[in-house]
Amino acid sequence: MSQSMTLQLGKPTYVTKALAPMLGNGILRSNGIVWAQQRKIIAAQFFMDKVKSMMGLMKEAAQEMMGKWEDSIEAQGGLTAEVRVDEDLRATSGDMISRACFGSSYSKGKHIFLKLRALQKLISKQNFLFKLPTIRFLNTKVQKDVKSLETEIETLIWEAVQERVQECSKRCSSEKDLMQWILEGAMNDQDLNKDSSKQLIVDNCKNIYFAGHESTAVAASWCLMLLALHPEWQDKIRDEVNQLCEYNDHHNLQVPDVETLVKMKSVTMVIQEALRLYPPAAFISREALEEFQMGNIVVPKGVCIWTLIPTLHRDPEIWGSDADEFKPERFSNGVSNACKVPQAYIPFGLGARLCLGKNFAMVQLKLLLCHIISKFSFTLSPKYIHLPAYRMIVEPKHGVHILIKRIYD
């Protein structure tokens, strides 16, 4: 299903209608020619050579978060501190995507992130996945709140876009960020009028704001939860970082280059295993926009096909009898040797609609883990309650509370 290249297979209509306030008709939700046009504009901005140039900005955001954690240790007696890492990681990941792709700090994008988060929670209450919304539901207070937030978010994003246009007109630079490329792509598209161009820009900014920080922050939260339970893997990552990276006089980690990150086998295996056990996306769904054939099955127009990612990722027939256990070493020889069917490992999807931000997300996750583990050791707090919850993505319902301790004083 995922490897099919046909445009006759797209995102299910009834699901995308429910997600329209959150994602508009951006790349995560669109189908057919519209999707193909948007992918052409956006894909090149997430190639690894572009991600390399964003690493310094990612480090700045990570260091701000760790400074906050060090302040928490001092405030709580100087030895250890309890922190709720999912909230801090969400803020830091939002900061990273803003700085790297939109040229603004998290403080400027904070209102957009908070309102997107509120909108996400409202939409997740709708139970739209297996239940069609009724006319009665459409008149509820929730729907009015959704519409109000949607309008506020679009206004805030358009204001940010206009600020960016003014900044670009004042300084000529060969270095363009993602927002500039979306602007140019929309404005130069002959098939789009002024209003359509504006909508394409706003919709894809919403998509990137959401996908670029929310999914990565949740993945990082699950990584830290699992590492808190398995301190031996903290030690392995710390040894690897100490061996491959350099520090300054204050024992702050220097930004490793992409080549160094590739060599970090323990970090990579931990992230891969965390994404296997707790993939941010719960499912991949497609609708036959026209009748088409998949293998020897004829799929009629309008039929929806679902793949539940956690089911694939924990299937003992594919992964072995230890499928529910945290064992990063299963990825020691790559994904192809970790399971019987490599196509069953799909934290970023597969095929034509493979997540555009895969490189960005992996570099972001590796940098975060390397910086955190180089400074702190940590265990789970007694406050932690394990309850994965579906809110458009699979996240820890009660957050991730950990106890952190400085390694070097």
The token pair at 7 is 């445009």
Whole-angstrom Cα distance, residue 117 to residue 150? 11
Neighbours of 336 (CB within 10 A): 11
Whole-angstrom Cα distance, residue 370 to residue 352? 31
**For residue 392, pLDDT beyond 90:** no
Could you tell me which residue, 322 or 28, shows the higher pLDDT?
322
Pair 209, 116: CB distance under 8 Å: yes
**For residue 224, pLDDT beyond 50:** yes
Least confident of 5-19, 169-183, 338-352: 169-183
Pair 243, 271: CB distance under 8 Å: no
The domains of the chain, with CATH numbers, are 9-406 (1.10.630.10)
Reading across the β-sheet that carries 376-380, which strands appear in turn? 80-84, 401-406, 376-380
- Tell me the per-residue pLDDT of 101-117, one tens digit each, with 9 for 90 and over: 666 655 667 778 788 88
Average pLDDT of span 170-199: 69
Query: What integer pLDDT is reported at residue 21 of this predicted model?
Result: 86
Query: What integer pLDDT is reported at residue 217 of this predicted model?
Result: 92
Average pLDDT of span 113-129: 75
Most confident range, picked from 62-66, 258-262, 375-379, 405-409:
375-379
Query: What integer pLDDT is reported at residue 2 of this predicted model?
Result: 72
**For residue 208, pLDDT beyond 50:** yes
Could you tell me which residue, 395 or 142, shows the higher pLDDT?
395
- Phi–psi pair at 162, nearest 5 degrees: -65, -35
Task: Quickly state the pLDDT bin for 135 (edges 50, 70, 90).
Answer: very low
Looking at every residue in the chain, the average pLDDT score rounds to 84
Query: What integer pLDDT is reported at residue 159 of this predicted model?
Result: 84
Q: What H or E segment, with its residue span, contains residue 251? A: none
Task: Report CA-CA distances (Å) from 122 to 18, 114, 208.
Answer: 11, 13, 19
The token pair at 289 is 């926009």
Percent of the chain past pLDDT 90, that is, above it, reads 35
| This prediction's pTM | 0.88
Query: What integer pLDDT is reported at residue 37 of this predicted model?
Result: 79
Task: Quickly state the pLDDT bin for 246 (edges 50, 70, 90).
Answer: confident
Most confident range, picked from 23-37, 246-260, 296-310:
296-310
Task: Quickly state the pLDDT bin for 301 (edges 50, 70, 90).
Answer: very high
**For residue 278, pLDDT beyond 90:** yes
